[in-house]
Amino acid sequence: QLQLQESGPGLVKPSETLSLTCTVSGGSISSSSYYWGWIRQPPGKGLEWIGSIYYSGSTYYNPSLKSRVTISVDTSKNQFSLKLSSVTAADTAVYYCARHPRRYDILTGYPRPVYYFDYWGQGTLVTVSS
């Protein structure tokens, strides 16, 4: 059974960098069939996709966060990570890691990510406060 687990500091100071890691177990992050993403949810609010990565290192980011986000992968540890720089109180949220498929486009014949998230971690609350 695939499991994802987020880890990292629960408290980050304003202007600093938020760093989280997602450890994948019960499956390989190097699977050619999946991408791995980060989604966040401020307390009492809705969901926001942050970005995704393929095991090769290809990344896709939410344009609204792109200037502050870096997602990386470590296939040897079966982990992928999130860094969000220059955080403010607005970045306080539960951060989830999740998996989504890769499939071949019928029209182009090229592989591409499809964004439905079928496995999720339990989430980790990160609070931005001094």
Partner 1 sequence: DIQMTQSPSSLSASVGDRVTITCQASQDISNYLNWYQQKPGKAPKLLIYDASNLETGVPSRFSGSGSGTDFTFTISSLQPEDIATYYCQQYDNLPRVTFGQGTKLEIK
User: 5 or 30: whose CB is closer to partner 1?
Assistant: 5
Residues found near partner 1 in the complex (CB under 8 A):
46-49, 60, 62-63, 96, 98, 112-118, 120-123
Smallest distance from the beta carbon of 116 to partner 1, in angstroms?
A: 4
Contacts of 15 (CB under 8 A, 6+ apart): 86, 87, 88
User: 3 or 28: whose CB is closer to partner 1?
Assistant: 3
Helices (H) and strands (E) in the chain, counts: 0, 12
Smallest distance from the beta carbon of 35 to partner 1, in angstroms?
A: 10
Smallest distance from the beta carbon of 60 to partner 1, in angstroms?
A: 5
Q: How far apart are CA 92 and CA 11, in angstroms?
A: 9
User: 8 or 123: whose CB is closer to partner 1?
Assistant: 123
Helix (H, G, I), strand (E, B) or coil at 1: coil
Q: How far apart are CA 103 and CA 32, in angstroms?
A: 9
Smallest distance from the beta carbon of 40 to partner 1, in angstroms?
A: 11
CA dihedral defined by 24, 28, 30, 34, rounded to 10 degrees?
-80
User: 9 or 111: whose CB is closer to partner 1?
Assistant: 111
